[in-house]
Structure 1
């Protein structure tokens, strides 16, 4: 699946990102961060993305193109469920340019990831969504997604991550 992948929407194709897409991926990340009111938190650079995505292969990216123009992306990676005993796909980011929304492109991208999860024998496809993002919440629910309300996400970053890591000797 490395070339263009036709979809049921005329003019819309998906493809796996290549190293030459690094600047485009960073721009999509910034557009998403702007939408989520978190642009000041983006510290990713082209160099970091190139290393993480194409050298270390820590995650994968699909690009959505409409009539040959990039209009969206999804960045994802494998995780693992001990309860299922299977890998899963974790969707870190799904973004379609605002002017292209409502045409079914996000649905096709999510459907593609579900198909990919099945092809890779994954037990689940999951992601997070901001509590205030009602349009996305409604979209995901319409696709059959169920919120995991009984779980709370915890995160350790920056100096706290460093301090925690230094406790192990």
Structure 2
């Protein structure tokens, strides 16, 4: 069986430029988003977040606080089961050093905003964007939840639906 090999020098100048552009573009894309998602023990710096209500949550809002980040979608049945518990946690931790934020992966911001309004959710919600993808890396499922300590270290990561008592127990991370 013959072995096939490819060399960029065996193609014409125009084709060589296209190949080089593709390789360079792939390299730039690889550096824009981490190949792997954050894991427990990793350190992260969170960017600001444009919220669906038109306000902006600045990156400084996360300093000195435990941050709980949840990825969700309006069409996700597991998110629909978990989000009521997250709303209760949000209400229970007001005034504590915890910042809850959620990132929708819906295609249209209006779909996410309508979902929040329909269900009466008041927790801060924005859309997943390049800055958050760069900070947290590749998402593995829905819902996906991170607990990030005051020092920026990932303390906990959950992929998939959590039970109500487990979501409520996240309040124990206040100040960690």
Quick check: which one's strand share is greater? Answer: 1
With normalisation by structure 2, the TM-score equals 0.29
Structure scoring higher RCO (CA < 8 A, sep ≥ 6) equals: 2
